[in-house]
Structure 1
Amino acid sequence: MNYIKAFAPATVANVACGFDIFGFAIQEPGDVVEVRRIDKPGIVIKEITGDDGRLPRAAEKNAVTVVMLHLLKHLGITDLGCEVTLHKNMPLGSGMGSSAASAVAGVVAINELLGNPLTRGELLRFAMEGERIASGSAHADNVGPSLLGGFVVIRSYTPLDIFSIPVPDDLYCTLVHPDIEINTKDARYILRNEVSLKNTIAQMGNVAGLVAGLMKADYDLISRSMVDVIIEPVRSILIPEFNEVKKAAINNGALGCSISGSGPSIFALSRGMENARKAGEAMKQTFADAGIDSTLHLSGINQGGATVLERE
């Protein structure tokens, strides 16, 4: 094949109590990557749209292409030439897995171009290198669900052990992105290195409760477990109106509400699309009352992950 066009969806990471171990994919938005063979060996970024010129154009410094370079090195391929076009369809620093979507779309596209020598599971560690270049940490809670779809759990990073769990069919995500930006590196920097035993125990209980609630379709248990006593109290300081927006979501039918990734996007989970929509409108209105524009996304859990849109 000479041309591949791939899509990778946005994601919600952490999911309240599951810092760096939980993540799920939504239907849209997402990034689109086009890869076309050229005669001259090497990876070249031809064009990036939607980033206002902010992303690096050097292949070794951009999440979309660094994953390709790692994959080609692993396979021992030195004579392949490709030009890459990246379409950014979500804001940078949004807390929606923007860099992860670029990395995943890139690694899926190059793998498809090569005839799929690696499985989706094998591509994960290469996609994580895109996160390393973008945020300084090769975490998998965004790239995992964007690549594989569904609700994923990262049980271990050393060795990497990731699996998915079933979720209720009637579970919907509300994702609201306020028109502000938070740098992922900054959001990680402010986190505490030490956590009290009391908070650790509480968080572990909520993690176990959320997994059980999702697998049993126990909406009350899901609601009780969507509590983050470690990360949210620190990161929420960076998000204007966070407490008010969260309260608006809960008061309008959401099961729970927290920060999506490192923020500033805020997500809620609800039973049924109507509750998700009602919660989202209330969240958006709360931001508007504070003079902050925001964008609303409503979605079920995306079970498919990244997809190939076109091939030639």
Structure 2
Amino acid sequence: MIEVYAPASIGNFAVGFDSLGAALAPIDGTLLGDIVAVSPATRDEFICSGEYAHKLPSDANENLAYQCLVHFRTHVAPSMPCVKLELKKNLPIGSGLGSSACSVVATFAALDQFAGTALSQVELIELMADFEAIVSGGRHYDNITPCYLGGLQLTGDLIPDKSISLPVDKNWYYVAAFPGFSLNTAKARSVLPRQLSMHASVEFAQRLSAFSTLLLTGRFDNALSIMSDEIAEPYRAPLITGFSEAKAALPELGAEIVSISGAGPTLFTVCKTLEAAQQCAQWLEQNYINEQGFCHICKLDNAGTRQL
């Protein structure tokens, strides 16, 4: 049996709408992501288990992981033996943590290993992006590539090999808080402006390019100082109960930035110390999340998708 884990991720990473993403690893060792297990079988079989399996369609044909299996067998490896594929769905749907990307990435990575097809990095990323687009409405790479490759990734069609890894300060901590309710990705995209002004476009280009260059040259504090989302956050914040209160309160507890993870409703902070991260996490647990929510203090998951 082959068992593959794919980590949760923060899409957009504040400054990089549809272009930046970061994989997450809770410091307590929790596996915050999905697992796909593939084993030989006499006929193709699909099982969906895990904490959030009940949130997915009961019909296998409507499940992204099963759709990936059908596509892989039809178009990539027609001679692959029959398999039993189990998706262990451990990430909530519509959380802003790259849940659909986790399922897709883990499935294709596991099938590639099982079938011995040895697809290239670009081939796999393209395949993964095609299927993640079914949920998000477009071929966005900012959850796919960090989930697959790990770390913080600058990603997109114009970038060689689809991704460039960016360094971050090793002392940074990331607090990710899922409030316990879902936000439909399509709805979160529908509130965004259809066009940007020339001023907003130039400012976005300057902020993303400066942020990336500052990280690459080790000027981490300077990078943090310009880390804000002027593209999506102003329009999505009203959709997320409690976000504006958290954005106001957490900087006083040591958060350097507070922003929305992906389309939301998960929020994330960047903190320079563990003490600040713990204070932010405590506030979020008391004021932001309900009984279905969770909060994790994280570092970046630099390993990305891997076999367990």
CA distance in structure 2 between the aligned counterparts of 1:273 and 1:130, rounded to whole angstroms:
37
1:241 maps to 2:242 = yes
| Cα RMSD, aligned residues only | 2.2
Q: Counterpart of 1:256 in structure 2: which amino acid?
A: I
- 1:286–1:212 Cα change, 3 Å: farther
Task: Tell me if the contact between 2:122 and 2:161 (Cα under 8 Å) persists in the aligned partners.
Answer: no
CA distance in structure 2 between the aligned counterparts of 1:110 and 1:60, rounded to whole angstroms:
18
Q: How does 1:20-59 map to 2 (within 5 A)?
A: 20-27=18-25, 28-40=31-43, 43-59=44-60
Q: Counterpart of 2:33 in structure 1: which amino acid?
A: G
Task: Tell me if the contact between 2:10 and 2:262 (Cα under 8 Å) persists in the aligned partners.
Answer: yes
Q: Counterpart of 2:100 in structure 1: which amino acid?
A: S
- 1:258–1:73 Cα change, 3 Å: same
Q: What's the secondary structure of 1:255's corresponding residue?
A: strand
Q: What's the secondary structure of 2:23's corresponding residue?
A: strand
Q: Counterpart of 2:41 in structure 1: which amino acid?
A: I
Task: Tell me if the contact between 2:2 and 2:110 (Cα under 8 Å) persists in the aligned partners.
Answer: yes
- 1:206–1:64 Cα change, 3 Å: same
- 1:299 Cα offset (Å): 1.1
TM-score (norm 1): 0.89
- 1:52 Cα offset (Å): 4.9
Aligned to 2:104: 103
CA distance in structure 2 between the aligned counterparts of 1:248 and 1:74, rounded to whole angstroms:
51
CA distance in structure 2 between the aligned counterparts of 1:73 and 1:150, rounded to whole angstroms:
32
- 1:143 Cα offset (Å): 1.1
Q: Counterpart of 2:230 in structure 1: which amino acid?
A: V
- 1:264–1:293 Cα change, 3 Å: same
Could you list the runs of 5+ residues in structure 2 that have no partner in the other structure?
26-30
Could you list the runs of 5+ residues in structure 1 that have no partner in the other structure?
none
The 10-residue stretch of structure 1 (63-72 or 27-36) with the greater mean CA deviation from structure 2: 63-72
Aligned to 2:28: none
- 1:134 Cα offset (Å): 2.4
Task: Tell me if the contact between 1:61 and 1:133 (Cα under 8 Å) persists in the aligned partners.
Answer: no
- 1:106–1:269 Cα change, 3 Å: same
Q: Deviations over 1:101-143 (max 9, x none)?
A: 1111111111111125213443111111331222332211111
Task: Tell me if the contact between 1:120 and 1:147 (Cα under 8 Å) persists in the aligned partners.
Answer: no
Aligned to 1:201: 202
Q: How many residues align?
A: 303
- 1:80 Cα offset (Å): 2.8
Q: Deviations over 1:262-295 (max 9, x none)?
A: 000001112232322222223333326xx78741
Q: How does 1:71-150 map to 2 (within 5 A)?
A: 71-78=72-79, 80-150=81-151
Q: Counterpart of 1:23 in structure 2: which amino acid?
A: G
Task: Tell me if the contact between 2:233 and 2:260 (Cα under 8 Å) persists in the aligned partners.
Answer: yes
Q: Counterpart of 1:126 in structure 2: which amino acid?
A: L
CA distance in structure 2 between the aligned counterparts of 1:228 and 1:70, rounded to whole angstroms:
36
- 1:79–1:86 Cα change, 3 Å: closer
TM-score (norm 2): 0.90
1:305 maps to 2:304 = yes
CA distance in structure 2 between the aligned counterparts of 1:73 and 1:170, rounded to whole angstroms:
46
- 1:285–1:218 Cα change, 3 Å: farther
CA distance in structure 2 between the aligned counterparts of 1:123 and 1:233, rounded to whole angstroms:
34
- 1:35 Cα offset (Å): 1.1
Task: Tell me if the contact between 1:7 and 1:33 (Cα under 8 Å) persists in the aligned partners.
Answer: yes
Q: What's the secondary structure of 1:264's corresponding residue?
A: coil
The 10-residue stretch of structure 1 (254-263 or 165-174) with the greater mean CA deviation from structure 2: 165-174
- 1:300 Cα offset (Å): 0.9
- 1:79 Cα offset (Å): 5.2
- 1:202–1:128 Cα change, 3 Å: same
Q: Deviations over 1:231-281 (max 9, x none)?
A: 110011100121110122222212211100000000111223232222222
Q: Counterpart of 1:38 in structure 2: which amino acid?
A: A
